[in-house]
Amino acid sequence: MATTIKDIARRTGVSHSTVSRALRNDPLISVATTRRIQQVAREMAYLPSAAARSLKTNRSLVLGVIVSSIDDPFFSEIVFGIESCAQEAGYSLFIAASQHDPSRVEKIIQTMMEQRTDGVIICSSSLNSNQNRQLLEYGFPIVVVNHQAAENFHYSIYHDDVDGSRQVTRHLVELGHTRIAYLGNSLSGRTTLDRLTGYQAEMMEHHLQILEGYIHHVPGSNPALGVDGAMHFLALPKPPTAIVCFNDMLAIGVLQGCQQAGIQVPQQMSITGFDNITFSAYTNPPLTTLDQPKRSIGAEAARLLLTLLNSNQENPSFQPQQITLKGNLLVRQSTAQLTNREKK
Amino acid sequence: MATTIKDIARRTGVSHSTVSRALRNDPLISVATTRRIQQVAREMAYLPSAAARSLKTNRSLVLGVIVSSIDDPFFSEIVFGIESCAQEAGYSLFIAASQHDPSRVEKIIQTMMEQRTDGVIICSSSLNSNQNRQLLEYGFPIVVVNHQAAENFHYSIYHDDVDGSRQVTRHLVELGHTRIAYLGNSLSGRTTLDRLTGYQAEMMEHHLQILEGYIHHVPGSNPALGVDGAMHFLALPKPPTAIVCFNDMLAIGVLQGCQQAGIQVPQQMSITGFDNITFSAYTNPPLTTLDQPKRSIGAEAARLLLTLLNSNQENPSFQPQQITLKGNLLVRQSTAQLTNREKK
DNA sequence: TATCATTATGCACACGTGTGCAAGCAGGCT
DNA sequence: AGCCTGCTTGCACACGTGTGCATAATGATA
């Protein structure tokens, strides 16, 4: 059994309320007793019970984080950003992975409510409208990250996917490519649509045609599906000479798929990723991609949520806020000019 | 403000204790009232306060997990295994990353104690003896995973690193290699020592000499350090023809380092990893590695901890337990027989 | 009809912490 | 000496839930 303030009170011969005040450095208590009590508390290895405290203060100092999968390096980095910021402010993280399983999401939301989490950050696109409603009705502050239904929420951090996708596509156009395809992830909702939009806008601006079959979606974003995507494009009557991929995971698969089919990258095929996960620098050839500032995104999300929590006391109706961050094109070796032989 | 059992009591005209009992399906309460109360509870969207409950019952239904870094895919997968198992049993996870920062570890431990976590799983090697002592003194059940100082703890899950490293080394020997080097991570303590031991044992068994400079350590395990490691080995007067790497992250860097130096893998150099992280299947060439059952390791850790929690009530002194899991060699394309030209 | 067993419910306290208010105490002032 | 001020401390209740015990209500039995 852990020591409590009552134990300390007994030991020092004061009431438990005096101990409570002394530990919080309340000026009501004399310096002498405060010091004595804190000394004893240290000796007895006292640690306050978070449960009791949050019961009384109605603040748990815990933030809930919902991600779709922990072992996706993209989310890992966002979580990293969140954690750094939260830990600085004295908040801890309650992390749960939905694994794209609706029943699991249900449980997670319930748990977070039961834990009376001070706020929630959602980095998962797999919440349905009913779950959204439930969360909003409960009334705790929510910040969403790259979420498809962000208009339902008041506070969100966005990466400018349209802009990013335009940057990537423009890079390929400037290299001289005209037959450029897009490989999306049909499960990622709004995100893939934004990236598709950016691709389309840039193609249109340069009066480039998008041939039949050049826009293709696979149900997820692991490398194996990327291989499938590569097969699809290579089987077209007029295969593209460059493929804009939804993210790095897919791009890695496409890269492998092409190489298995004997297509040389980047000489015969240019491939771009999106996100700049750690491993994109270590593929062969290293991947040209869009460096999404993942840690900043996570940190911004946490910062926004913390601001929300602090302002909620004085200023009950904080105005909606939407922060957009832009990424940077990162040119590596998976893209190149067309060789003459391939231009035909 | 969330609804409480008192609200429900007022609404149904009974005392709060009756509500409390009805919600837990206590047979003391008549079936009729139980049903009525549960109905009202549902209507009012009642969710019990975890804080109040754990204050009263002394069980938080939360497990603490300490990892050294979240964005390391190896830990991500272990956490995944833990989460699956824990969620099934109704437990939630409190995850914190130490980032190899001792002061951060200090805070994490403190937080877990304050949260009165029911138990802790440690997947990080960066706890010093003082912190170990602190955790043990506090007295909550601890399960360590691949931890260097496991003998200080009573319950641990181990991957048999010595055996794994022997399997990898034997594979290279069987391919005909004789000049085999080992690249370790000096920060990983016991783990790198075990793998080194396995390598040495296998080399000795086949009467193979370990040349000067063939055992090399770098301070960490990211791909960039792997590149450094490759440089080291290639600069030796008699460079090795095969390199056993501490883990996949390093192996990926070594792979790139060799390729930058114009060395063909696997024709001129065989490289092996360890862990089998997702990306090791998508390097070029795909990495031969030791498939460590990461999810099983995580799940086993959670299972052991849960058993501990349940048995603690009846059986106060549960006997120490150490579970060892073995991994399997996974042969891909980063290893090959020596060509005649290179054998000289 | 009085007594008892059985069932259903409420009372009151507990968990550990925080806080408004009253009370005690010392010292300085008129 | 009496009063007021300022500083310290304790009392008592609150947060939301769980539980031992007493009590009330009902039905059965002698």
Distances (CA, A) of B208 to A199, B202, B203, B246: 57, 9, 5, 20
Residue A307 token pair: 């601001």
Report how far residue A163's alpha carbon sits from residue A159's, in angstroms, rounded to the nearest whole number. Answer: 9
Domain count for chain B, please give it: 3
Interface check for A207 against chain B (CB to CB < 8 A): the answer is no
**Contact criterion met (CB < 8 Å) for B284 and A282:** no
Interface subset of B 39-58, CB within 8 angstroms of A: 45, 47-52, 54-55
**Pairing between strand B270-272 and B242-245?**
parallel
Whole-number Cα distances in Å, A54 to A48, A51, A93, B120: 11, 5, 15, 21
**Element at B157 (helix H, strand E):** strand B155-159
Q: What percent of chain B has pLDDT over 70?
A: 93
When CB atoms are compared, the residue of A55, A71, A83 closest to B97 is A83
Mean pLDDT of B243-272: 95
Compute the distance between CA of residue A128 and CA of residue A143 in angstroms, rounded to an integer: 16
Residue B48 to residue A111, Cβ atoms within 8 A = no
Task: Place B40 in a pLDDT band, splitting at 50, 70 and 90.
Answer: very high
Q: Which residue of B has its CA nearest to A285?
A: B284
For residue B133, say whether its CB is under 7 Å from any atom of strand D: no
Residue B53 lies in a domain: no
Residue B316 in this model has a pLDDT that exceeds 60: no
- Percentage of chain A beyond pLDDT 70 is 93
Q: Do A185 and A261 share a domain, yes or no?
A: yes
Which residues in A lie closer than 8 A to residue B259 (C-beta atoms)?
A: 284
Burial B315-338 (b: 16+ CB within 10 A, else e): eeeeeeeebeeebebbebebbbeb
Give the CA angle between residues B230, B234, B240 to the nearest 5°: 95
Residue B162, pLDDT above cutoff 60: yes
CA distance A227 to chain B (A): 10
Could B137 and A95 be called an inter-chain contact, meaning their C-beta atoms sit closer than 8 Å? no
**Is B54 part of any domain?**
no
Q: Chains A, B: CB contacts under 8 A, how many?
A: 138
CA angle (B158, B121, B62) in 5-degree steps: 150
Question: Do both A234 and A304 map to the same domain?
Answer: no
Shared domain check, B134 and B102: yes
pLDDT > 80? residue B179:
yes
For strand D, is any atom closer than 7 Å to the CB of B17?
A: yes
Does residue B93 lie in a domain region?
Answer: yes
User: How confident is the model over B73-114, as pLDDT tens digits?
Assistant: 888 889 989 999 998 899 999 988 888 788 888 889 899 999
Backbone angles phi, psi at A163, to 5 degrees: -60, -45
Strands B62-67 and B119-123: parallel
Do both B99 and B133 map to the same domain? Answer: yes
CB of B188 closer than 8 Å to CB of B246: yes
The pLDDT of residue A340 is above 60: no
Q: Are residues B239 and B302 in the same domain?
A: no
Quick check: is A54 in a domain?
no
Higher pLDDT, A199 or B128: A199
Number of H helices, E strands in chain B: 13, 12
Contacts of B195 (CB under 8 A, 6+ apart): B161, B162, B164, B165, B182, B184, B244, B246, B274
Cβ–Cβ under 8 Å, residues B182 and B194: no
Q: Does A83 touch chain B (CB under 8 A)?
A: yes
Measure in Å the smallest separation between the Cα of B212 and chain A Cα atoms: 29
Closest protein residue to C12 (Cα–C1'): B17
**Position A312 pLDDT exceeds 60:** no
Sign of CA dihedral B329, B335, B336, B342: negative
Same-domain status, B39 and B181? no
**Is residue A208 in a domain?**
yes
Of the partner residues B47, B51, B283, the one whose CB lies closest to the CB of residue A110: B47
Q: Please tell me whether residues A192 and A319 are part of one structural domain.
A: no
pLDDT at B1: 66
CB contact under 8 A, B97 and A111: no
pLDDT of res. A344: 44
Same domain, A336 and A243: yes
Cross-chain residue pair A52–B55, CB shorter than 8 Å: yes
Write the pLDDT tens digit of every residue in A272-308. Answer: 999 999 889 988 899 999 999 999 999 999 999 998 8
The pLDDT-based confidence of B322 (bands split at 50, 70, 90) is confident
Chain A CB within 8 Å of residue B137 CB? yes
pTM of this prediction? 0.86
Question: Can you give the CATH number for the domain in which A126 is found?
Answer: 3.40.50.2300
Q: Which domain holds residue A144?
A: 60-153+294-324
Q: With a cut of 60, say whether residue B344 has pLDDT above it.
A: no
User: Is A22 within a domain?
Assistant: yes
Asked if the C-beta of B76 comes within 8 angstroms of chain A's C-beta atoms, the answer is yes
B9/B7 Cα distance (integer angstroms):
5
Same domain, A186 and A255: yes
Distance, in Å, from the CA atom of B46 to the CA atom of A110, rounded to the nearest integer, reads: 10
Could you report the per-residue pLDDT of A116-165, keeping only the tens digit for each?
Answer: 999 999 987 666 777 777 777 777 788 988 876 656 778 899 899 999 99
Tell me the pLDDT band of A317, cut-offs 50, 70 and 90: low
Q: Which nucleotides of D are covered by protein (CB under 7 A)?
A: 7-12, 14-20
Could you tell me if residue B55 is inside a domain? no
Task: Answer yes or no: do A205 and A244 share one domain.
Answer: yes
Q: Which nucleotides of C are covered by protein (CB under 7 A)?
A: 7-12, 14-20
Q: CA A186, CA A23: separation in Å to the nearest integer? A: 54
User: Does one domain contain both B142 and B70?
Assistant: yes
Compute the nearest-CA separation of B60 from chain A (Å).
9
Q: Residue B343: its pLDDT value, please?
A: 46
Residue A53 belongs to a domain: no
B80 and B205 share one domain: no
How sure is the predictor about A65, in pLDDT bands with cuts at 50, 70 and 90?
very high
- What is the per-residue pLDDT for B331? 97
Inter-chain contact A51–B116, Cβ cutoff 8 Å? Answer: yes
Distance CA A63, CA B145 (A): 26
